[in-house]
Amino acid sequence: MPVRNIVTTLLFFCLMINFAAPAAAEQFKVGTWKTAQTIQPFFYQEFLAKDDAVTVFPFTNPADQKTALLAGSLDITGTTLAHAIQSAVMGQPVVLVAALCNKCSALVVRKDGPVQSVADLKGRKIGYVPGTMHEILLRETLARNQLSPDTDVTLVRIDFFDMGTALAQGAIDAFLSGEPFPSTAVEKGYGRILSSPYFDESVGAINAGLLVTRELIEKNPEKVQQLVNAHARATEALNRDQARWLAAAQAFGTPLKVLEQAASNMELAWNMDAAFIRQVKALGARMQALGVIDRQPDYDRLIDRQFVGRASLQAGP
């Protein structure tokens, strides 16, 4: 056989082997909260290649999630947008690659208590969790009603899961948190929603996003894209089927009746459009004005829209 034919044959077999070899399965490590508004990672498996595997790690606060991400224990994690901004200001190498949820917040007071307006909170105790979107929204709500969070009210650090009990027992007079805790307080009869702190002319209803490290984007952008694709598809699927969404969220321990009441105050999200960018920047400006941060981050480095821009919403991976 001529040498040229031998070379051609060998090349042919090499190509056939490459085409026949299955792609290496990916292992994805994802952090989120066990709440209805951050549930999408629990559905990623449906929207990835058959041999890929997703492990979802539930957390209770964004600081722990970010710490696990930076330590390499997670590929991607949910975080509040306020915490993402704070992290960027601190110089930490984190990047927002997708939205996670919008809305979900409410300011709650005792059902039969004397507080009828935000102004009535003067001199009272308010439960909050530092470093969250809810803290920023609380501070913004107080500022818009000429109340100082430092001198006019007492901010009490309480875990989200304990806020309802503290309110019911009179340890605090109000709390601002995410769903389902406001709706739970209403359903159980001890709470009343005083306001939903969304400011359309500035911050709007943005809440949380998905964070990766800059190193992962540089070394394995395909992995980031796969995760963002799965996130977008899971979000769209759950938005189309609210019954399935809430039924799955019920497994986290919240009664379906409470979730149905909270549904109008929760919005699953994935895209980061121009309005999202404007609102994140407005959030950063408010955080600086409120003294939460001392300078603005580099938003071009904090937010990377290339992955949502290429996100595929087809049924398959």
pLDDT at 4: 52
Domain total of the chain: 2
Mean of pLDDT values over 252-273: 96
132 in the same domain as 58: no
Q: Percent of the chain scored above 90 by pLDDT?
A: 80
**Does residue 217 form part of some domain?**
yes
pLDDT at 263: 96
Q: What is the CA radius of gyration of the chain?
A: 23
215 in the same domain as 80: yes
DSSP-derived secondary structure letter, 265: G
Q: How confident is the model at residue 2 (pLDDT cuts 50, 70, 90)?
A: low
Q: How confident is the model at residue 264 (pLDDT cuts 50, 70, 90)?
A: very high
220 in the same domain as 304: yes
Return the structure tokens found at 11: 């090349």
What is the rounded distance in angstroms from the CA atom of residue 78 to the CA atom of residue 59?
A: 9
Helices (H) and strands (E) in the chain, counts: 13, 11
Q: Which domain holds residue 160?
A: 105-195
277 in the same domain as 258: yes
What is the rounded distance in angstroms from the CA atom of residue 303 to the CA atom of residue 68?
A: 20
What is the rounded distance in angstroms from the CA atom of residue 290 to the CA atom of residue 241?
A: 39
- Arithmetic mean of pLDDT over the chain: 90
Last residue of a domain, one of 154, 177, 195: 195
Do 113 and 172 contact (CB within 8 A), yes or no?
no
**pLDDT tens digits, residue range 156-174?**
999 988 999 999 999 999 9
227 in the same domain as 279: yes
**Does residue 20 form part of some domain?**
no
What phi and psi, each to the nearest 5 degrees, are found at residue 100?
A: -120, -50
**Does residue 8 form part of some domain?**
no
Q: Exposure of 71 by Cβ count < 10 A (0-12 exposed, 13-18 middle, 19+ buried)?
A: exposed
Is the model's pLDDT at 70 over the cut of 60? yes
Q: Exposure of 82 by Cβ count < 10 A (0-12 exposed, 13-18 middle, 19+ buried)?
A: buried
**Does residue 6 form part of some domain?**
no
208 in the same domain as 84: yes
**Does residue 86 form part of some domain?**
yes
109 in the same domain as 94: no
Return the structure tokens found at 163: 């806020």
Mean of pLDDT values over 63-91: 95
What is the rounded distance in angstroms from the CA atom of residue 184 to the CA atom of residue 149?
A: 26
**Does residue 64 form part of some domain?**
yes
> Residues near 123 by Cβ (< 8 Å), separated by ≥ 6?
152, 153
Residues forming a β-bridge with 101: 208, 268
Mean of pLDDT values over 284-303: 94
pLDDT at 13: 46
Task: Give the pTM.
Answer: 0.86
Last residue of a domain, one of 138, 172, 195: 195
**pLDDT tens digits, residue range 6-47?**
444 444 444 444 444 455 689 999 999 999 999 999 999 999
**Does residue 17 form part of some domain?**
no
The CATH number of the domain holding residue 230 is 3.40.190.10
